[in-house]
Structure formats: structure tokens, C-alpha cells
Amino acid sequence: MTGYRIGRRPLLAGAAALAAPGIGQAQAEAIRIGEINSYTAQPAFLLPYRNAWIMAVEQVNAAGGINGRKLETIFRDDAGKPEDAVRHAGELINAEKVNLLAGGFLSNVGLAISDYALQNKRLYVASEPLTDALVWSRGNRYTFRLRPSTYMQAAMLVEEAAKLPAKRWATVAPNYEYGQSAVRWFKELLTRARPDVTFVAEQFPALGRIDAGATVQALAAANPEAIFNVTFGADLTNFVRQGATRGLFERRRVVSMLTGEPEYLDPLGDEAPENWIVTGYPWDQINTPAHVAFRDAYRARWNDYPRLGSVVGYDTVTAIATMLRKLSNTETEAMVDAMRGLQFQAVFGPSEFRAIDHQSTVGAFVGRTVLRNNRGTMADWRYAPGKDYLPSDEVVRTLRPASAS
């Protein structure tokens, strides 16, 4: 099962993808999840995500399924395009008769699936899209989100950024919903914590098409004392290499969202930046019982180490399975009610989906980057529980439509 090839078309459907003893029972008896993601556009994160998803479903089914019913997943690749995601959602609901939707990586894609879920009154468990609009300004009754949002991760990073002596800041982020949201919250929260701070430059390169040389040159021209970075994937690799070549990071601190995730550090090898303050995943250093069990099972199943995407995929299935075990049917409104306030055992510790805004309390690790054995990793890290970085219910009520309850 390590040879899966993921393309634009639905190459793998549920029973074929997740074969396990007993999976051949009548499809009507299985609980079907329609999973939509940007597999060809973001493979570094989403191939490990899919591997852990498959592993989690296998574990559920090996333990007897959900009240005797097997879980089955039908995967679709949206290629990073909102219109493709919506088309797939319609096909999954109407032709494949899935019981719920899940997945999503890019924030604009997640918002498109969420809008579809609202219009068609179907449960959508968003695994990865980070924009706060998903649960706040455009939140709805049918959408729940697993990962800590741009607001939450910005708040975690601001705690550390506010301790730096730097007063002149610049930002660089991909020019779409995730990047815009991350910069907006970082600026607002840092200014609140440090009124003496000013932002002297902003760069918003197109996602996946960064002109790293020009971006670095523009940032250097503004002469900031520190930089807030939100690029990821190939854009991050190009930005780091051009920044190092042109001396952008010399005598400047960098605070960076997601950069501590192995998906993005590993491709840099010994070029990985050092002493950046980051959110990430020090997979080989976390020795809590739940994480050790997950890490060992993942390595045994896939002969590879987990990435952050692996944790997200596994936790998404765990949350869905926990919800389904509370019910005697898969009626949408019952599933939605069961998701509100749902407590589940995430890889990083006990978590829940808040009833007020459908945001989970899964947290993130905050630390700094270092080079060890010619590769980047995290040091001096701490786990930041998600519940500690969310606004109060009173604030959420001002951000989320009253009709979204």
C-alpha cells in the first residue's frame, strides 16, 4: 500500500484504498467519508497526511469499526483549486453518497468547501485550512476545524516576538487568504503587546510563484530589525536560499509560521535557517505516551517518520470516529450536534471542538530552529495548548454570525 499514486482524477476509491479484513461487506453498511485535498499541489504535507489517515482508518476497522460498521474513505484531489473542490464535493455527496466531507489544505479551498457544506447542509470536518474566517466571519453550523488557526499560531509567536528588542518589522506572506490572515493577526497582536513596534514593509508574493530575489531585495531595502515570515513549501525554500545569499538574515531575527514542520525544514537540508522562532513539530523529541505510540505505529506501517501532516490526518480520523461512536446513525444534524463540544484524544493530548465556534483546541509547538546532523530541527521548544490561544466566548460572538450556531 505504499505505492499509491494520487492524480487529479479519483484514482482510488474507498474500498480499494482502505482494504482491510471484512471491508468487502455491503457498501450500504459502511460509513463513507468524502476526503478532498490538494494532493498534487502540496505533496510534502499531504502524502504523509494521507498515510496517517489510512493507518487510522485501518486501526478503527481492525477494532470492529464504528458500532460494527466499517469506515470507508473516498479521496479526491482538488489540485489547489476551489472550483475543483466544490465539484468534487458535489460528486461525493450526490454520486458516491458519502455521509460527511473532510479535508482541505489551502484556506481558500477550505472556505469553498465550507460554503458548499452550508448550502447543502452537510457536515464538513476541515483538517488543515488555517484561516480564521472558516470558524469566525464565515463560520457556519456545518463546518468544524482541527488545526490551530492563523490567529492561534500568530498569538503563540507574538508571545516570543514581543520579547525581542526589535521595533522595526517587515512581513512576507503568500498572497491569498492564509497569508493575509496570518499577517493581519500578527500585526494586530504584536502592536497590542508592543505599542512601540512599527511595520516598515510588506511583501505578498503569489503562492507558489515567489520571485525570491526581488522579495528579499525589497525587504532589505526597508531595513527592518526583524521579519515575520509566512511562506511555506517551495516558496520558503527559495526565500531562505535567496535571503541567506543576500545577507537578509544577518543580525535580524525571523519569526516564522509553520517553518519548524519537517515538511518544510527537511528539503533545506544543511541550508535550514538557524535561530528562527517558529511553530512546528519536533517529531523525534516528543516522548509523551500518546505520541510515542503514534510515532511507532506510523514508522511500523510506512517505514518512514511522521510529519506534521501525519498528525493532522490521524487526528482528523480520530475525531470523526469519536463523534460517530456517540451516535446510532449518520444523520447530518445528529453528527453536527455531536461534533459541538466533542472531546477526543489527539496525538498531542486531549482536545475538543469548542461549541462556540467549532474550533478545536489542538495546539502547536513553538521553539527555534537549529542544525543537527546537517538538517534543520527545533530546539528549546514548548507545547502551546490551543485552548490558551483562543479569544473568549464574548469576543467570538462579535466575530461569528449569530446564524452560525
Q: What is the pLDDT at residue 290?
A: 97
Q: What is the CATH number of domain 14-129+287-347?
A: 3.40.50.2300
Domain 14-129+287-347 identical in fold to domain 151-285+364-393 = yes
Closest CA to 149 of 395, 394, 336, 387: 387
Give residue-wise pLDDT tens across range 175-209: 999 999 999 999 999 999 999 999 999 999 999 99
* pTM for this model (two decimals): 0.92
Q: What is the mean pLDDT of residues 364-393?
A: 96
Closest CA to 140 of 127, 122, 166, 155: 122
> Is pLDDT above 90 for 8?
no
Q: Which residues of 336-350 are buried (b: 16+ CB within 10 A; e: fewer)?
A: bbbbbebebebbbee
> Is pLDDT above 50 for 18?
no
Give residue-wise pLDDT tens across range 95-110: 999 999 999 999 999 9
Q: What is the mean pLDDT of residues 345-365?
A: 98
Output DSSP code: residue 23: T
Q: Residues near 30 by Cβ (< 8 Å), separated by ≥ 6?
A: 14, 15, 23, 69, 70, 71, 72
Contact between 74 and 92 under an 8 Å Cβ cutoff? The reply is yes
Instruction: Give the percent of the chain with pLDDT over 90.
Output: 92
Q: What is the mean pLDDT of residues 317-333?
A: 97
> Is pLDDT above 50 for 7?
no
| Pairing state between β 343-346 and 349-352 | antiparallel
Indicate the CATH number of 151-285+364-393 among 3.40.50.2300, 3.40.50.10320, 1.10.1740.10, 1.10.8.50: 3.40.50.2300
**Domain ranges across the chain:** 14-129+287-347, 151-285+364-393
Q: What is the pLDDT at residue 28?
A: 40
Task: Give SS3 for 11.
Answer: coil
Contact between 340 and 353 under an 8 Å Cβ cutoff? The reply is yes
Mean pLDDT across the chain, nearest whole number? Answer: 93
Give residue-wise pLDDT tens across range 71-124: 999 999 999 999 999 999 999 999 999 999 999 999 999 999 999 999 999 999
Q: How confident is the model at residue 3 (pLDDT cuts 50, 70, 90)?
A: very low
